């Protein structure tokens, strides 16, 4: 009978640990990055792609706040 209680206690401890880890993951997943930072990174990536294609007038390449690319 004590073995059964020990196993159940160990299972409860294991599940509580898993629950804490999952709550931490959920909390991190719900944090949204700043929209302006994301748009800025997209714009830099867009300019990088154009430069790898050797596209002219790269100094004017950007993506605006509505996610519309410009050259």
Write down the pLDDT at residue 54: 86
Higher pLDDT, 71 or 41: 41
Write down the pLDDT at residue 3: 84
Distance of CA 2 to the CA centre of its chain: 45
Residue 46 pLDDT more than 70?
yes
Place of tokens 């640990």: 17
Exposure of 46 by Cβ count < 10 A (0-12 exposed, 13-18 middle, 19+ buried)? middle
- For the chain, give the DSSP string: -HHHHHHHHHHHHHHHHHHHHHHHHHHHHHPPPPHHHHHHHHHHHHHHHHHHTT-S-GGG-EE-TTS-EE-
Residue 1 pLDDT more than 70?
no
Band of the pLDDT at 19, cuts 50, 70, 90? very high
Is pTM beyond 0.85? Reply is no
């Amino acid at each position: 009978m004590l073995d059964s209680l020990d196993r159940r206690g160990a299972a409860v401890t294991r599940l509580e640990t898993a629950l804490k880890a999952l709550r931490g993951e959920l909390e991190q997943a719900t944090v949204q990055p700043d929209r302006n930072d994301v748009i800025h990174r997209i714009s830099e990536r867009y300019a990088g792609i154009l430069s790898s294609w050797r596209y002219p007038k790269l100094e004017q390449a950007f993506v605006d706040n509505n996610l519309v690319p410009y050259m």
